[in-house]
Amino acid sequence: MTANSSTINGNAVKDYRSNSLWRLTLRRILRQRSAIIGMVILGFLLVVAIFADVIAPYSPYQVLIGVEDVNKRQAPCIHLLGCPADQPQHIMGIDGNVRDEFSRIIHGTRVSLFVGFSTVGVAIIIGTLLGAIAGYAGGWLDNLIMRFLDVLLAFPSLLLAITIVSVLGKGLQNALLAIAIVSIPSYARVVRASVLSVKETAYVSASRALGGNHAHILFGRILPNAIAPLIVRGTLGIGTAILDAAALSFIGLGAQPPLAEWGQMLGSERNQVFTAPHLVFYPGIAIMLTVLSFNLLGDGLRDAIDPRLRSAE
Amino acid sequence: MIQYTIRRLLLAIPVIFGILLVTFTLSRMIPGEPCKAMLGEKATAQVCEQFTKQYGLDKPIPVQFAIFMGNMLRGDFGESIRFSRPVTLILIERLPTTIELGIFALLIACVIGIPAGILSAMKRNSPLDVVVMVISNIGVSMPVYWLGLMLAYFFALVLKDTFLWLPPTGRLTAGITSIPFFQLWNFPYISGTFSHYMLQFFSNFLIFNSIITGDWKVLGDSIKHLILPAMALGTIPMAIIARMTRSSMLEVLKQDYIRTAKAKGLQRNLVILKHALRNAMLPIITIIGLEVGILFAGALLTETIFGLSGVGRILYEAITARDYPIIQAFTVVIAIGYVFINLLVDLSYVFIDPRIRLE
């Protein structure tokens, strides 16, 4: 019998595939307004990141001195809004090093999305391993791992990240590592809770009785149950990671110039807020939009796929 | 209750031990000699030797950790490389500003966030609810330093000649000075003693100091200087508190006892405030406690932007100057403070919800 067989003993049978878990979940996600808005913004950002070279009118590193008649920190010039046509168009103005701000913002999308996905990716992998081992093994190992993670949680996360980076040395790579480290505990806790809740179920016992080894039981039987809360937590975590990474870059610990990173762009022009507000305004809007998209998507996903975490909707 | 408090305090000891262990490990991970890391690159061999002996760096690692822990718990955080002063003195000077800023920010967050969340829950799916939720979604996604800069731009530049103008930097207007209460009232003290430091510490709370000394000019001026940073710092917690209040209230409003209260003919507001809010308070208080950690980290960014001389700003300067003793001391102090605040939150459950019997 296949999933597509249309009759069993003459009775019509529904197509199983049309009701698969994933399709059901997708349908539930699409019913969430916030998830849709989040996905639309995120899709837009992904397009911008992928086609950054095509969209950006200039290279993010190109200094326009001698190329065009523009000044340092010149205000935005948009032809549609009445900027004289004989002036070159720079819709977000010129930055402190006479580069096109718009091109830098566009290229910054790549950095921020990379930051979000890479830190959360690393944190999820390590957090899942730690949480799974703690929950599955139990006993002293569980205690040891969880108490250690509790200590990490006792620090305000951004502060711990700052301390780690000031020890490791500044730079985007170390900042990402620090953010990944400080976000491990929350993923480990989610996974441990899921593992504990299914560890004693009948199908796990059955798998054990059938002679499954620990790795098979843990990764093949138990962990798939932890995926839903992990996806939710991860999506919300990407927003926080981007925000924290931008903050580290803002105070000079993360991305270093000339890299087009929004937090760094904002930080290097922060004293110019009264004279060139556009150089502070746009990077902030870009950060906010990106973080907002992940937060909305995460909220929507939580309501759609994880009834345990569902807020009172 | 007392027993519970004692037990919770005892449970905090391993966490504090862990915090010290992590900070110690980090301090030993700094590339290069620990002496150079703690005294600066210019430290001579002779000074280094003395330092090594004083902090027991020639002893085995566990002994070093014991010495480190002893120093930290006694409040000896070493000497700042940049300022060549004991870090403890810098803390006494700077911590009050940060605490005042944090309290002010949290006050703004609660005073606006909680009612907004309640209204949102009461008028669920109404335009008001949508507006509150949209604003709070944007609020949690904003970088605090960006908001700070934008507020400074708006209130200090755009509204320059209106009565709404607010100062974008500093703690007090130049020319206005706060007189410490212990000097005003001629408290007897011996300079450099513990009691002197404590008096200094409390007088550095400018708002507190100006209230008890009745110096209304300083009070007004210092509050004026705190409004913008507190607004910037308080917005993210406000958004989070509003969201939590809304979902917690929605949960409670579904309960049978709320229907009963309404059926009894009680006034709507009474039901909301007395029956529902009190029961919805637990998760709200929890989230407020957790927000304190975010406030501390946010203070670093807001104080830097608004030129407030609190611990956040000096931490920022310490990071730029690689002044590790300050970074280490502030990390320890803030983390331990955070542990105790969350302990207070746990203890407050008993008062909010008498059903929780803590034995």
Specify the higher pLDDT residue, B29 or B144. B144
DSSP characters over A45-74: HHHHHHTHHHH-SS-TT---BTTBS--TTP
Min Cα separation B276/chain A (Å): 14
In the block, which residue shows the tokens 């899942």? A128
Q: Say whether B26 and A158 touch across the interface (CB within 8 A).
A: no
Q: Is A270 on the interface with B (CB under 8 A)?
A: yes
pLDDT band at B173 (very low <50, low <70, confident <90, very high): confident
Q: What ipTM describes this predicted complex?
A: 0.87
**Residue B119 located in a structural domain:** yes
A197-211, B14-28, B229-243: which has the highest mean pLDDT? B229-243
The pLDDT value recorded for residue A4 is 47
pLDDT digits (tens, 9 = 90+) for A273-290: 999 999 999 999 999 999
Instruction: Check: CB of residue B300 under 8 Å from CB of residue A251.
Output: yes
The pLDDT value recorded for residue A307 is 58
Note the maximum CA span of chain B: 82
CA closest to B144 among chain A residues: A247
Q: Is A307 on the interface with B (CB under 8 A)?
A: no
In the block, which residue shows the tokens 């973080």? A291
Q: Which residues, numbered 208 to 247 in chain A, qualify as contacts with chain B under a Cβ-Cβ cut-off of 8 Å?
A: 239, 243, 246-247
The pLDDT value recorded for residue A313 is 37
User: Which of the residue ranges A162-171, A303-312, B138-147 would you say has the lowest mean pLDDT?
Assistant: A303-312
pLDDT band at A306 (very low <50, low <70, confident <90, very high): low
The pLDDT value recorded for residue A18 is 56
pLDDT digits (tens, 9 = 90+) for A33-89: 889 999 999 999 999 999 999 999 999 999 988 888 888 898 898 888 888 888 888
Average pLDDT of the segment spanning B305-329? 85
**Residue B170 located in a structural domain:** yes
The pLDDT value recorded for residue B323 is 81
**Residue B342 located in a structural domain:** no
**Residue B60 located in a structural domain:** no
The pLDDT value recorded for residue B279 is 86
Q: Is B11 on the interface with A (CB under 8 A)?
A: no
H helices of chain B, where?
A: 2-29, 34-39, 45-54, 61-73, 87-122, 127-141, 144-152, 181-184, 194-203, 206-213, 216-253, 256-263, 268-270, 277-306, 311-321, 324-352
What CA–CA distance (Å, rounded) separates B3 from A32? 47
Average pLDDT of the segment spanning A151-173? 88
pLDDT higher than threshold 90 for residue A266: yes
pLDDT higher than threshold 60 for residue A311: no
Q: Which domain holds residue B276?
A: 87-178+215-326
pLDDT higher than threshold 60 for residue B101: yes
Best probe of the A interface among B8, B25, B146, by most A CBs < 10 A, is B146
The pLDDT value recorded for residue A256 is 92
pLDDT higher than threshold 60 for residue B162: yes
Q: Which residues, numbered 126 to 145 in chain B, qualify as contacts with chain A under a Cβ-Cβ cut-off of 8 Å?
A: 137-138, 140-145
Task: Give the domains, in start order, of chain A with CATH numbers.
Answer: 20-312 (1.10.3720.10)
Give the three-class secondary structure for A229. helix
Which of B21, B29, B142 minimises the CB distance to A288?
B142
Count of the separate structural domains present in chain B: 1
Min Cα separation A265/chain B (Å): 11
Sign of CA dihedral B242, A150, B318, B55: positive
pLDDT digits (tens, 9 = 90+) for B215-263: 899 999 999 999 999 999 999 999 999 999 998 999 888 889 888 988 9
**Residue B263 located in a structural domain:** yes
Residue A12, H or E segment: strand A11-12
pLDDT band at A5 (very low <50, low <70, confident <90, very high): very low
The pLDDT value recorded for residue B357 is 59
Instruction: Check: CB of residue A50 under 8 Å from CB of residue A66.
Output: no
pLDDT digits (tens, 9 = 90+) for B251-266: 888 889 888 988 988 8
The pLDDT value recorded for residue B221 is 92
pLDDT higher than threshold 90 for residue B111: yes
pLDDT higher than threshold 60 for residue A216: yes
Over the range B297-335, which residues count as b (16 or more CB within 10 Å of their CB) and which as e?
bbbbbbbbbbebebbbbbbbbbbeebbbbbbbbbbbbbb
Q: How far separated are the first and last CA of chain A, in Å rounded?
A: 41
Sign of CA dihedral B320, B325, B326, B329: positive
Instruction: Check: CB of residue A283 under 8 Å from CB of residue A262.
Output: yes
Could you tell me which residues are beta bridge partners of residue A90? Answer: A77
Contacts of A264 in chain B (CB under 8 A): none
CA atoms within 13 A on the CB side of B148: 30
Q: Is A280 on the interface with B (CB under 8 A)?
A: yes
**Residue B192 located in a structural domain:** no
Q: Which residues, numbered 33 to 62 in chain A, qualify as contacts with chain B under a Cβ-Cβ cut-off of 8 Å?
A: 34
Which tokens in the block code for residue B199?
A: 């008096």
- The CATH number linked to B113 is 1.10.3720.10
Q: Say whether A284 and B31 touch across the interface (CB within 8 A).
A: no
Min Cα separation A166/chain B (Å): 6
Q: Is B339 on the interface with A (CB under 8 A)?
A: yes
H helices of chain A, where?
A: 21-30, 33-50, 52-55, 101-137, 139-154, 157-168, 172-199, 202-209, 214-215, 227-250, 262-268, 278-305
User: Which of the residue ranges A7-11, A161-165, A191-195, B297-301 would you say has the lowest mean pLDDT?
Assistant: A7-11
**Residue B117 located in a structural domain:** yes
**How much is the mean pLDDT over chain B?**
87
Min Cα separation A104/chain B (Å): 17
Which tokens in the block code for residue B189?
A: 């003290």
pLDDT band at B359 (very low <50, low <70, confident <90, very high): very low
Q: Which residues, numbered 277 to 296 in chain B, qualify as contacts with chain A under a Cβ-Cβ cut-off of 8 Å?
A: 293-294, 296
The pLDDT value recorded for residue A234 is 93
Q: Is B338 on the interface with A (CB under 8 A)?
A: yes
Contacts of B301 in chain A (CB under 8 A): 247, 250-251
pLDDT digits (tens, 9 = 90+) for A12-23: 555 555 567 777
Give the three-class secondary structure for A100. strand
Contacts of A151 in chain B (CB under 8 A): 15, 18-19, 21-22
pLDDT higher than threshold 90 for residue B68: no
Best probe of the B interface among A155, A183, A274, A296, by most B CBs < 10 A, is A155
The pLDDT value recorded for residue B45 is 82
pLDDT higher than threshold 80 for residue A144: yes
